[in-house]
Amino acid sequence: MEYKISDVANLLGCEIKGDKNLLVKGLAPFFQAEEEELTFASDEKFLHKLNETKAKVVIVPNIELPEIGKTYLLANQDPRKLMPLLLNFFKRKTKKMEKPIEDSAKIGENVEIAPHTYVGHDVEIGDNTKIYPNVTICEGVKIGKDCIIYPNVTIREFCEIGDRVILQPGVVIGGDGYGFVKVNGNNIKIEQIGKVIIEDDVEIGANTTVDRGAIGNTVIKRYAKLDNLIQIAHNVVLGKNFLAASQVGIAGSTEVGDNVTFGGQVGVAGHIKIASGTTVAAKGGITGTIKEENQVLGGYPLLPLKDDMKVKASLKKLPELLKRIKTLEKELEKLNK
C-alpha cells in the first residue's frame, strides 16, 4: 500500500519542503527506514544524523535543515506530540471476525486445531503444527511448521512465528506496547503498528508477554528460551540462544546480543545494548549499555559478579562496624577533652 505525503502533511498540519508528489509505503524507525518509507526526527540525536537514514521523507521540527536531497514535513509542534495521529493513520485496518476458522486461512497438512480456537483472516499455519483449545490467532498471523501452541495463547494480528516454536499456556504475542505521549497534560495512547517476529526453535514460557513494536518490530531470534512470567517490551531485539529465567523484564528498544543469559528477576532499562555472551545473575539491574562481551555480572548497580558477592558479604558486617565506629568516636571525644 502507498500513501501520499500530502495526505500525511494535511493530517499533521505540516508544510512540505521538497517534492510534494512523493508516495511512501509506511512508517519506520529512523535508522531502519528504507527509501520509500517515512520516518521522523524529534530531537537533536536524530537531527544531526539526517544523512544516516535512508528515508527520503522525514518529519522534523520547523527549523533550518541541511539540503541533502530529502523531503521534509515541517511540524509546528514537537513531532512526538503528532505520534498518535501519525500512527493511527498508518495502522493497518483489520477485517470483521465472522467464523471460528475464517475461510481465507491457509492451514497446512496434519495440523491439529482444538475446539474453541479462533483462526483469523489470512492466517497461515505450517504442517504438523498442534494448537490446543482456547487459542486466539488474529488476522494475518504466520505460524511455521511443527509448532506447539498450548491453551489460552493469544497471537495478535500480523505477527510471525517460525518453525518448531513452543508457546506455553497463557503466552501473549503482539500485545500493544506501553506507548503514551503527553498532549495538553493528558496521557494519549500511541498506536503500536509494528509486529512481533519469532524465529525458529524458540520456546516461551507460561504467561510471558511479548509486545509488538511501536514502529518496526520486536524480534526474538533462533533458539531463544524464555521462562514463565517474563515481559518483553516493544521493539526489543533478543539475540540467538538467549536464556531468561522467570520474572525478567526488558524495557523498550533494547538490543540483546547472542548467547546472553539472565537470571530470575533481572531488570533491564530501555534503549540500551547488551553485548553478546553477557551473563547477569538473579535480581541484577541493567541501567546502561554493556559493551564488553562475555562478562558475568550481578547486583544493582551492576558489578562483576565476584565483586557484587563481596559487597553483599560485607553488608553482614555493617552492624558490627557501626558499633565499632561509635565506640571509637566516643573514645576520641574523651581524648579531645
Provide the sign of the torsion angle of the four alpha carbons 254, 257, 259, 260, taken in this order. negative
Q: Residues 6 or more apart from 226 whose CB is under 8 A from it?
A: 202, 203, 204, 205, 208, 220, 232, 242, 244, 248
Residue 212: the pLDDT is 98
Report the C-alpha gap between 275 and 293 in whole angstroms.
Answer: 5
Residues 235-260, mean pLDDT to the nearest whole number? 98
State the pLDDT confidence band at 148, using cuts at 50, 70 and 90: very high
Q: What is the pLDDT of residues 36-55, one digit of tens each?
A: 999 989 788 889 899 999 99
State the pLDDT confidence band at 81, using cuts at 50, 70 and 90: confident
State the catalytic residues.
Answer: 234
Q: Residues 6 or more apart from 313 whose CB is under 8 A from it?
A: none
Residue 227: the pLDDT is 98
Residues 13-31, mean pLDDT to the nearest whole number? 93
Residue whose C-alpha cell is 562483576: 304
Residue 83: the pLDDT is 83
Residue whose C-alpha cell is 520509500: 36
Residue 202: the pLDDT is 98
With a pLDDT cut of 70, the percent of the chain lying above it is: 100
Report the C-alpha gap between 217 and 139 in whole angstroms.
Answer: 17
Residue 77: the pLDDT is 79
- Please give, one letter per residue, the 3-state secondary structure of the chain: CCEEHHHHHHHHCCEEECCCCCEECCECCCCCCCCCCEEECCCHHHHCCHHHCCCCEEEEECCCCCCCCCEEEEECCCHHHHHHHHHHHHCCCCCCCCCCECCCCEECCCCEECCCCEECCCCEECCCCEECCCCEECCCCEECCCCEECCCCEECCCCEECCCCEECCCCEEEECCCCEEEECCEEEECCCCCCEEECCCCEECCCCEEECCCCCCEEECCCCEECCCCEECCCCEECCCCEECCCCEECCCCEECCCCEECCCCEECCCCEECCCCEECCCCEECCCECCCCCEEECCCCEEHHHHHHHHHHHCCHHHHHHHHHHHHHHHHHHHC
Neighbours of 270 (CB within 10 A): 13
Averaged pLDDT score across all residues of the chain: 94
Residue 302: the pLDDT is 96
Residue 44: the pLDDT is 82
Residue 45: the pLDDT is 82
Residue 336: the pLDDT is 79
State the pLDDT confidence band at 199, using cuts at 50, 70 and 90: very high
101-105, 157-161, 235-239, 329-333: least confidently modelled range: 329-333
Residues 298-322, mean pLDDT to the nearest whole number? 92
Residue 1: the pLDDT is 80
* Contact criterion met (CB below 8 Å) for 274 and 257: yes
Residue 16: the pLDDT is 95
Residue 181: the pLDDT is 85
Q: Is the pLDDT of residue 60 over 90?
A: yes
Residues 320-325, mean pLDDT to the nearest whole number? 91
Report the C-alpha gap between 60 and 42 in whole angstroms.
Answer: 6
State the pLDDT confidence band at 183, using cuts at 50, 70 and 90: confident
**Residue among 83, 88, 84, 59 nearest 71 (CA):** 59
Report the C-alpha gap between 211 and 199 in whole angstroms.
Answer: 15
